[in-house]
Amino acid sequence: MTHSPKILIVGGVAGGASAATRARRMNEQARIIMLEKDAYVSFANCGLPYHLGGVIQDRAKLLVAKPEMFKKRFNIEVRVRHEALAIDRTSKTVRIRDHQAGTEYTESYDKLILAPGAAPLLPDVPGVRATGVHTLRNIEDMDRILSQLPSVQKVAVVGAGFIGLEVAEQLKERGLAVTLIERGGQVLPPLDGEMAEPLRRELLRHGVELISGTGFTAIRETNGKASGVVLEDGRVVEADLVILGLGVRPYNQLAVNAGLVVGPTGGILTDEYQRTADLDIYAVGDAAEYRLGTTGLRGRVPLAGIANRTGRLVGEHAATGQSATAPAAWGTAIIKVFGLGAGIAGDSLKSALKRGVEARAVHITANHHAGYYPGAKSFTLKLVYEAGTGRILGAQAVGAAGIDKRLDVVASFLHFGGTVRDLAQVDLAYAPPFGSAKDALHMAAFAAINDLEGSAPLLAPDVDLSGYQVVDLRDAEECAELKLIGAEHALNIPLNNLRERLGELDKSKPTAVACHSGLRAHIGTRILRQHGFDAHNISGATYVRDLALNRNFTAAAAATCGATKPCGAPAIATDRHDELHPLNVMAEASTGALLLDVRSPAEFRSGRVQGAVNLPLESVNATTVHALLQGREQATVLLLCASGGRARTAAQRLAASGLKTFVVQGGTNSCAQAGLPMDKDAGGMISVERQVRIAAGSLVATGVVLGTWVHPGFYGLSGFIGAGLVFAGVTDWCGMGLLLARAPWNK
């Protein structure tokens, strides 16, 4: 190949832009031309929904690189509004239309890179091209939707995949009435049903109306404008804005017309270097097919990550004639839906079984970092592995925090062909603010090994329990709070009483063991198997079984989900608020956030962060806080107390209020130490915290004096106060402080 090749690139977003810049870095002599039929190149298409919702406020931040930057920094010629019409492989030329000038011309190439992307699916139904019906693929689509939003009240989003969920969430956050329509039986179809169910409940909790199990047959038009979506069952969803998120189809016609081969999934067929049947023509991005890690076959993966990585390799190969081979695509993806995240890497259980793989799975529910460290949030991990070999096939995770790093670890194991035994031994970073000594990944690997070796075999969470002797190891209160579905015949034996009640069980029957999330059930399974029972642990236990089977979970039930428990999981302790470092307090307050001090008035007078408003904890509720927020542009509340305990209690009270709450770490004490501006009233009383020290010290001293001179029994007073102080230090809850805060001199 020539040392100064002319490289022509069709498509200027993820794959095309990565190819262009890598080609330049590898060959300074190459001439590189990039064509883009739209008005923008190298924009952040994954950020489009978040600009619609106002999370990303500056539109310019979506424009990662402009044509001028490509020219100045990389000497790459970028031509926007230039569309490739046809490829002549014999003469190695491309016919191009300049939409700005209204002319056509021919451009030659030595190497041609096709990265035209994909187009949103647009079904052939009446009204689909009416005003007010949109897809979201590029900047122009986003601008058209934004221009209509001021007149919109009701939105219908059709399709509950990644883009549909993101758009539904963001438009709901803008205060619009949103209906989400999904033809399948669940949201986010790539996930297994029980792993997608928390997202459905989260959508309901935030007031999104869900319609599943039916598609649509038409868009109703009124005076040429969309006014509703007509469903297959005859119902009409009222809407003055319709967003279609039904998937994408590859732009492959240019390749097809040039005689290039298209693969079974519609993408341009490529080899290990992403070359097409014509070795001087490459294909990357949403229009190309990749080697799929799950199957070893070729297929499309319309995700930005694989497009960028392979674009880089293609640019190098086109510029130098050599590069590493393209990696396998595992389809790792993640999404945020209000307070939850969900994601997948590799196979789901249903996709593995559909391919005929003998696959098994384990569910682990855990905190994203050490439970005793403030702010721990719950998530559920599902690890899919091959029976016999233990080879990791994939993972899914859903929860309030920490799912991204677990999925990334699994993605690494998929790339290198790891097993559950490898995962059990991996050395992960640990400190209480970041994780646990035995991470959820370790726990999943341990459980998978126990399953494979038969020491604690697993049952699927949706297993029919009618043929099993069922032992529920939870306390009676837990059993009353969340039912073990389909196990009315279960015998409730708390774990600590299991050994002494073994005589109540029949060793001749297969036994299914449950608790809330699986840990106690594992212990119980091991006890029973060592006493001769054919015992099995229900994977994910009662919580995941509820997700798998309780599809009647309603919007009314979702609305009652509080701050200390995710929907359907009453016994899992988790906070639904975020925590804020003191150094970030003033920056947040400057944007309009309410700085709310929930200490007593006396404490507040004795010293507070500048600009804070006082509302004692006993008065904190949605009504009082909303009243304080009147006139502010945003509904964000920064909660303060002395050290954090009362602020977290306040956050829990406000969990269902729709407010965004942050607990300031360490409270006013940490704010003062961090150097934040503080105010103090003249003659303010000493803080309740100091009052607690004085009262506790006085009572301890009194107990010692009376125990020495009157009766030894008075030593118990000192011991009681000491134990109370230890309890307050461990739990950050101080009963004496709450009592003193109510004293008349603190009002």
pLDDT value, residue 572:
36
Element (H, E) at 56: none
pLDDT value, residue 653:
86
CA-based nearest residue to 563, from 637, 671, 649, 673: 649
**C-beta atoms surrounding 304 within 10 Å:** 17
Extract the tokens encoding 192. Answer: 């297994």
Which positions ≥6 away from 427 have C-beta within 8 Å? none
* Residue numbers of the chain with a pLDDT score lower than 50: 562-576
Up-side HSE of residue 130: CA atoms within 13 Å toward CB? Answer: 23
Instruction: Measure the CA–CA gap between 480 and 516, rounded to whole angstroms.
Output: 12
Say which residue the tokens 């674009």 belong to: 311
Extract the tokens encoding 548. Answer: 């798998």
pLDDT value, residue 571:
36
Is 734 known to be catalytic? no
Extract the tokens encoding 437. Answer: 């000594």
pLDDT value, residue 150:
94
Is 424 in a helix, a strand, or coil? helix
From residue 606, how far is each of 52, 628, 639, 682, 742 by CA, in Å?
44, 22, 18, 8, 16
**Over the chain, what is the mean pLDDT?**
91
Instruction: Measure the CA–CA gap between 570 and 70, rounded to whole angstroms.
Output: 54
pTM: 0.76
Extract the tokens encoding 208. Answer: 């999104």
Element (H, E) at 719: helix 715-731
Extract the tokens encoding 276. Answer: 């097409």
Up-side HSE of residue 553: CA atoms within 13 Å toward CB? Answer: 29
Q: How far apart, in Å, do the first and last CA atoms of the chain sit?
A: 85
Task: Determine contact, residues 150/129, Cβ cutoff 8 Å.
Answer: no
Q: Which of 46, 515, 567, 641 is the catalytic position? A: 46
Say which residue the tokens 């962060």 belong to: 609
Task: Determine contact, residues 656/575, Cβ cutoff 8 Å.
Answer: no
pLDDT value, residue 435:
92
Instruction: Measure the CA–CA gap between 123 and 215, rounded to whole angstroms.
Output: 11
**C-beta atoms surrounding 167 within 10 Å:** 26
> Measured in whole angstroms, how far is the alpha carbon of residue 418 from the centre of its chain?
24
> Measured in whole angstroms, how far is the alpha carbon of residue 505 from the centre of its chain?
42
Which positions ≥6 away from 710 have C-beta within 8 Å? none
Determine the residue type at 92: K
502: burial class by Cβ within 10 Å (0-12, 13-18, 19+)?
Answer: middle
pLDDT value, residue 118:
95
pLDDT value, residue 709:
85
Instruction: Measure the CA–CA gap between 253 and 255, rounded to whole angstroms.
Output: 5
Q: What is the DSSP string of 558-618?
A: HHT--TTS-TT-TT-----SEEE-GGGHHHHHHTT-EEEE-S-HHHHHH-EETT-EE--GG
